[in-house]
A = this chain, B = another copy of it.
Amino acid sequence: MFISPWLREIVDLALKEDIGMGDITTELVISPHDKGIAEIIAREEGIIAGLEIGREVFRIIDDKLEYKPKIYDGEKVKKGAVIAEISGKMSAIMFGERTALNFLQHLSGIATLTSRWVKLIQDYPAQLVDTRKTTPGLRQLEKYAVMIGGGRNHRKGLYGGILIKENHIKAVGGIKEAVLKVKKAAPITLRIEVEVTTLEELEEALEADADLVMLDNMEVRLMKKAVEFNKGQAILEASGNITQDRLQDVAATGVDYISSGALTHSSTSLDLSMLVRDDF
């Protein structure tokens, strides 16, 4: 994972938020000369994501700290596994501990959930896709974690894809009109996607030659009909109310993608902790 200037700003912000005007306890208690080694440990089984963000946290704190991941992003770890080792000034390690863990726990939680859902539909052609329902500020990281978990990304933001929704359609007067209007003017690198809720709307979308069609909040039965009607013309994305229970049924309809906001807005944190090694 490439730590771009944008991600660096996010990490910087997270450190300002936690350290602010100083880690009073550590600065009072631990000598700036003390050195040590700490390990980040998994306290439950899961898929790890975000090791490079951990590295960046400690690099910003003190670029003399040595940060050694013991695994790769995407690996499944068991309870007790060592994920990364950090060595150097003890105080610096403690300044970064919580922020590094908060990133890693959150992203690993998303990768773990995604991986579980991906497995559920592995016998179907459908791929699992994320949405823009992400935690404010963490969009790029969360979408990265979805990929690490085996999912794929939908557009990264409003700038990264065309998605014509109900309100857009109303404003122009019809699906066809909206798709054609956008086709003439959108950046040429973007596919045109349009949201439909009925077969009639799907027909209109296909007539306008939309690249992607989002079947929004459809019953599984209707979705199946949509897939048949489509005959492979547009790429189909099932969206809305995707729960773990419905996942396989939706996949069985033959859609190409299944998108779910739950991957990023309702995953739970993977339990990780940092331990200072005593044998040092």
By a beta-carbon cutoff of 8 Å, the part of chain A in contact with chain B is: 2, 4-6, 9-32, 34, 60, 90-92, 94-95, 98-99, 101-103, 105-106, 109, 129, 132-140, 143, 147, 152-168, 170-172, 178, 181-182, 185-191, 193, 211-212, 235, 237, 257, 261-262, 265-266, 268-269, 276
Known contacts A90-B167, A158-B19; is A269 also within 8 Å of B276 by CB? Answer: no
In chain B, what residue has the closest Cβ to A147? B185
Give the Cβ gap from A250 to chain B, nearest Cβ, in Å: 16
Chain B residues with CB under 8 A of A155: 187, 189
Q: Is the CB of A138 within 8 A of B136?
A: yes
Q: Is the CB of A24 within 8 A of B178?
A: no
Q: Is the CB of B181 within 8 A of A28?
A: yes
Chain B residues with CB under 8 A of A91: 2
In chain B, what residue has the closest Cβ to A134? B102
Chain B residues with CB under 8 A of A17: 21, 136-137, 139-140, 157
Q: Out of B170, B185, B189, name the residue touching A161 (CB < 8 Å).
A: B189
Give complex CA distance A185, B187 in Å.
21
Give complex CA distance A177, B68 in Å.
33
A-B contacts besides A19-B157, A98-B132, 6 pairs, CB < 8 Å:
A5-B12, A20-B20, A29-B172, A155-B187, A189-B193, A265-B269
Chain B residues with CB under 8 A of A103: 136
Q: Is the CB of B188 within 8 A of A257?
A: yes
Give complex CA distance A30, B95 in Å.
34
Q: Out of B16, B134, B138, B269, name the residue touching A5 (CB < 8 Å).
A: B16
Q: Is the CB of B269 within 8 A of A159?
A: no
In chain B, what residue has the closest Cβ to A15? B5
Give complex CA distance A204, B217 in Å.
39
Q: Is the CB of B190 within 8 A of A135?
A: no
- Ranked nearest first, the 7 interchain pairs of A and B with the lowest CB-CB distance are A161-B189, A14-B136, A266-B268, A23-B158, A265-B269, A137-B137, A20-B159
Chain B residues with CB under 8 A of A18: 132, 139, 157-158
Chain B residues with CB under 8 A of A157: 17-21
Give complex CA distance A155, B22 in Å.
12
In chain B, what residue has the closest Cβ to A132? B98
Q: Is the CB of B235 within 8 A of A152?
A: no
Q: Is the CB of A160 within 8 A of B29?
A: no
Give complex CA distance A18, B21 in Å.
10
Known contacts A95-B2, A137-B136; is A276 also within 8 Å of B10 by CB? Answer: no
Chain B residues with CB under 8 A of A10: 13, 136-137
Give complex CA distance A188, B24 in Å.
12
